[in-house]
């Protein structure tokens, strides 16, 4: 299985480089690298893109580069903001970040291509670093890149990549506060690293600042001043000590160093305020601008810090085909490409690498990819139009057979539809009949319930009538049978039906008399004995009648029973007792 290959193009202000990386286990290998200096007026940002494309085209031709590529944009071309948001789940994080950024960005977010990265997290709040680019800048860049023959799959900001490069180099950053100063052509990127994350600040001082000072002091063009700067500070050209230009160059260098140190000091003070008094313990220099004479010594003295050059080559395996001249430049130009390659190739490190940001305009890229495929699509259409005639004839006969089969299917479909229509008509008739039956049933429900109640009442009266022949309750007759007044009042049929459903409220009232017979003869003097005897017979008769009535199947319980020997008759003269029962019928 072949190793995964990544082409990374670093688009600087003064140069453009192309690097090809592959992964070998846990190590990153630099397979190919090339550098092209851009020749234009660095003070004119409008011509940067054209000069960059010319350099990129030359690189691709010399190094035979094509296909997918990842691009690194300089921070000076991008908008960036650092904000603090509450620590939330990833699903809610983007909405909160978008809201906060909409308040801070100088343009509406809908008019920008943007992405963000969590750079510090203390568990309560998260520090967010966001980058944005205008769509017209990214889209114009992509169009020109596709014309050259490359397919852009990512545009990522340069300032955030030094962090990944530092981690992959193996420099311990768990316990100490570290500052990385990356001196570029137009700006200097300050990377403050602490155990919980990092913070990025950019200052508008770079190599071009020194060039502009030289141009103003010598009264020469910017491009000429750039050549003088490179020649003098690199030692390529020896200047005479009596040359007045030497003093001018040294004064410009001191002004640059003083201003850079002051801006770094301000940034450190701001960082200490944000991080509650913590300041960096060490400093690393990176970028080609860091090659300026006396820069490490001056910063070390002014900042009272141990300073060293950052070497990203510690994490790299360098291919033998890379020449020695290029190897000498690698420590000062390869840091950012190493940071991106380490993330996308998932090279293992002691700490989790940050997600590489992507400012690529996806919609524009889709249209560009389609345009790239247009010639292939045209060629394919021509090939299909030149198919052999016999195959076309065979397809025609097949089409006719399919037409015949389609006609038969349509005929069968019509017949089935007719059958469905007939069944639908029968179904409608059935539903109408069912609905009519239900209406008739509901309308006659009260009558049926009433009829059923009449039969129950007839059975109940028959059972009462049969009690007159029972030996235990003989000599008994009923004077009156009535129901609770709810059924006797003039209620509507609906009210009667409701009362039938609530039959637990219905009461049956039964009143009548029974005769107390005695066969014994008592003398007139024995009145008490006769009275006691009649009372005993009366009690037996009461008990027998009550038990009989309670045993009737339509009686639920006896609510009240009343016996009287007064009023309508006297027990001792007429020997009968009046009674009245109140029953609760069964439902």
Q: Which residues contact 115 (CB under 8 A, 6 or more apart)?
A: 130, 131, 132, 357, 358, 359
CA dist., res. 285 & res. 310, Å (int): 6
DSSP single-letter state for residue 320:
T
Report d(CA 330, CA 335) in Å as an integer: 8
Distance separating alpha carbons of residues 358 and 116, to the nearest angstrom: 9
What are the φ/ψ torsions at residue 229 (nearest 5 degrees)? -60, -50
Is 245:215 a contact under the CB 8 Å cutoff?
A: no
The two structure tokens encoding residue 405? 């089969």
Rounded Cα gap, residues 543 and 516, in angstroms: 13
For residue 487, the model assigns a pLDDT of 41
State the pLDDT at residue 573: 59
- Both tokens of 50, joined, read 């054209």
pLDDT of residue 410: 92
Could you give the CA distance from residue 487 to residue 483 in angstroms, rounded to a whole number?
Answer: 7
Beta strands (DSSP E) in 434-483 are 476-483
Q: How high is the pLDDT of residue 34?
A: 92
What is the pLDDT, as a whole number, of residue 442?
Answer: 85
Q: What is the pTM of this model?
A: 0.61
Q: Please, how many CA atoms are within 13 Å of residue 222, restricted to the half-sphere of its CB? A: 12
Which positions of the chain have pLDDT values less than 70?
A: 1-3, 172-175, 235, 277, 347-355, 364-378, 380-392, 451-453, 485-504, 522-525, 566-574, 587
* DSSP secondary structure code for residue 176 in this structure: S
- Please tell me the distance from the alpha carbon of residue 297 to that of residue 280, in angstroms, as a whole number: 17
pLDDT for position 571: 52
User: Cα(213)–Cα(233) distance, rounded to whole angstroms?
Assistant: 14
The answer for residues whose C-beta is within 8 angstroms of residue 3's C-beta and 6 or more apart is: 22, 23, 24
Query: Helix 135-148 to helix 362-385 angle, to the nearest 10 degrees?
Result: 40
Which position has the token pair 């491009």? 223
* Predicted pLDDT of residue 168: 79
What is the Cα–Cα distance from 162 to 96, expressed in whole angstroms? 27
Look at residues 50, 17, 46, 52 and name the one whose alpha carbon lies nearest to residue 287: 17
Helix (H) or strand (E) holding 562: strand 555-564
DSSP conformation letters of 76-134:
GGSEEEEEEEE---HHHHHHHHHHHHHHHSSS-GGGSEEEEEEEEE-SSEEEEEEEEE-
Q: 161-220 pLDDT, tens per residue?
A: 888 888 877 776 666 788 899 998 888 988 888 877 788 888 888 888 888 888 888 888
Spatial separation of the C-alpha atoms in residues 391 and 294, rounded to whole Å: 81
CA nearest 83: which of 94, 75, 72, 92? Answer: 94
- Residue 164 to residue 167: CA distance in whole angstroms: 5
pLDDT of residue 145: 92
What's the angle, vertex CA 262, arms to CA 197 and CA 246, rounded to 5?
Answer: 125
The reported pLDDT for the residue numbered 1 is 42
Predicted confidence at residue 488, as pLDDT, reads 44
Give the integer Cα–Cα distance in Å for 128 and 97. Answer: 8
């Amino acid at each position: 299985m072949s190793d995964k290959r990544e082409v990374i193009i670093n688009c600087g202000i003064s140069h453009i480089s192309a690097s090809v990386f592959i992964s070998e286990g846990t190590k990153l290998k630099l397979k190919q690298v090339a550098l092209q200096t851009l020749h234009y007026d660095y003070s004119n940002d409008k011509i940067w893109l054209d000069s960059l494309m010319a350099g990129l085209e030359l690189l691709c031709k010399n190094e035979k580069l094509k296909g997918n590529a990842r691009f690194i944009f300089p921070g000076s071309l991008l908008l960036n903001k650092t904000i603090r948001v509450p620590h939330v789940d990833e699903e809610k994080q983007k909405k909160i970040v978008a809201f906060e950024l909409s308040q801070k960005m100088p343009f509406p977010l809908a008019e920008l291509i943007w992405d963000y990265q969590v750079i510090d997290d203390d568990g309560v709040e998260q520090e967010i670093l966001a980058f944005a680019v205008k769509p017209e800048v990214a889209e114009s860049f992509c169009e020109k890149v596709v014309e050259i023959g490359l397919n852009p799959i990512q545009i990522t900001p340069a300032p955030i990549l030094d962090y990944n490069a530092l981690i992959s180099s193996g420099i311990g950053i768990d316990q100490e506060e570290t500052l990385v100063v990356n001196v570029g052509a137009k700006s200097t990127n300050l990377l403050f690293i602490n155990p919980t994350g990092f913070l990025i600040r950019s200052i508008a001082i770079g190599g071009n600042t020194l060039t502009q000072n030289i141009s103003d002091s010598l009264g020469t063009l910017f491009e000429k001043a750039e050549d003088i700067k490179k020649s003098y500070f690199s030692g390529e050209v020896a200047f005479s000590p009596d040359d007045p230009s030497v003093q001018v160059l040294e004064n410009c260098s001191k002004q640059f160093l003083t201003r850079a140190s002051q801006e770094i000091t301000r940034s450190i003070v701001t960082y200490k305020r944000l991080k509650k008094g913590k300041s960096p313990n060490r400093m690393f220099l990176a970028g080609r601008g860091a090659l300026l004479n006396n820069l490490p010594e001056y910063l070390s003295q002014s900042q009272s810090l141990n300073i060293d050059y950052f070497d990203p080559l510690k994490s790299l395996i360098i291919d033998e085909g890379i020449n020695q001249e290029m190897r000498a430049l690698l420590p000062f130009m390869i840091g950012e490409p190493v940071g991106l390659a380490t993330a996308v190739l998932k090279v293992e490190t002691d700490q989790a690498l940050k997600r590489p940001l992507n400012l690529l305009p996806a919609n524009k890229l889709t249209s560009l990819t389609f345009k790239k495929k247009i010639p292939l699509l045209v060629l394919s259409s021509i090939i299909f139009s030149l198919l052999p005639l016999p195959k076309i004839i065979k397809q025609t006969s097949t089409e006719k057979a399919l037409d015949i089969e389609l006609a038969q299917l349509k005929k069968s479909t019509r017949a089935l539809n007719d059958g469905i229509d007939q069944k639908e008509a029968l179904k409608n008739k059935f539903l109408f009949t069912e609905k009519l039956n239900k209406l008739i049933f509901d309308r006659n429900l009260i009558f049926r319930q009433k009829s059923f109640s009449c039969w129950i009442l007839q059975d109940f009266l028959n059972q009462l009538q049969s009690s007159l022949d029972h030996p235990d309750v003989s000599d008994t007759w009923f004077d009156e049978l009535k129901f609770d007044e709810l059924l006797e009042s003039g209620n509507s049929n609906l009210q009667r039906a409701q009362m039938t459903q609530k039959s637990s409220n219905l009461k049956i009232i039964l009143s009548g008399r029974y005769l107390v017979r005695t066969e014994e003869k008592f003398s007139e003097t024995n009145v008490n004995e006769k009275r006691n005897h009649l009372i005993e017979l009366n009690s037996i008769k009461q008990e027998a009648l009550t038990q009989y009535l309670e045993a009737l199947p339509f009686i639920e319980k006896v609510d009240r029973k009343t016996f009287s020997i007064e009023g309508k008759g006297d027990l001792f003269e007429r020997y009968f007792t009046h009674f009245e029962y109140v029953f609760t019928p069964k439902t």
